[in-house]
Amino acid sequence: MLINVHFLWNHVDILLAAVILVITIKTFIVSIVVKGFGYNNKTSLLVGMSLAQIGEFAFVLLSRASSIHLIEGKLYLLLLGTTALSLVTTPLLFKMIPAVVHLGVLLRWFSVDSNQVELGLKGEVLRIDSGKRINLIIQGPHDS
């Protein structure tokens, strides 16, 4: 209700740049923190991608900041749009995780921990064998 679609459409370039910047920086920072706790590269990147969106509490903070005049109207609308768009892109980030893992294995960013590792989201399984062979298996709702 608070989002002015006309304003965001007129500033779509700034909005997209802000969302990409937020997602990239948050993924990078969270990945470094998780890596600092001793986890491997794959785990740290996956956690970073999972936590890359701006949380819903930002709406509350932005509303309060606007009501006490800490931020002006245009910046408020832009930050609202950035928050909403980052929340909307979260399912797309989750869909990209198998492709990122695939790319990471191909570029040798990630090592295969055991003989076989399976990752996937809701019917998609990326199976990595120790023989460096990668198969993408799509399971339908009737497959077991």
Q: What is the pLDDT of residues 35-76, one digit of tens each?
A: 999 998 888 988 999 998 898 899 899 999 989 999 988 898
Distances (CA, A) of 8 to 14, 99, 102, 128: 9, 30, 35, 42
Q: How confident is the model at residue 128 (pLDDT cuts 50, 70, 90)?
A: very low
Q: Is residue 45 part of a domain?
A: yes
Domain that holds residue 18: 5-112
Q: Tell me: the pLDDT tens digits for 9-41? A: 888 999 999 999 999 999 999 999 999 999 988
Q: In the chain, what is the greatest distance between 2 CA atoms, to the nearest angstrom?
A: 60
Distances (CA, A) of 120 to 32, 62, 123, 140: 23, 35, 7, 13
Specify the pTM. 0.69
Q: Is residue 122 part of a domain?
A: no
Name the residue among 13, 18, 8, 144 with its Cα closest to residue 89. 18
Give the type of residue at 107. L
Q: Is residue 28 part of a domain?
A: yes
For range 87-108, the mean pLDDT: 87
Name the residue among 47, 40, 34, 143 with its Cα closest to residue 94. 47
Q: Is residue 83 part of a domain?
A: yes
Tokens at residue 110, please?
A: 């990630």
Q: Is residue 130 part of a domain?
A: no
Structural domains of the chain, count = 1
Q: Is residue 134 part of a domain?
A: no
Q: Is residue 125 part of a domain?
A: no
Q: What is d(CA 45, CA 110) in angstroms, rounded to the nearest whole number?
A: 10
Q: Is residue 131 part of a domain?
A: no
Tell the residue number behind the tokens 């802000």, with chain if given.
Answer: 18
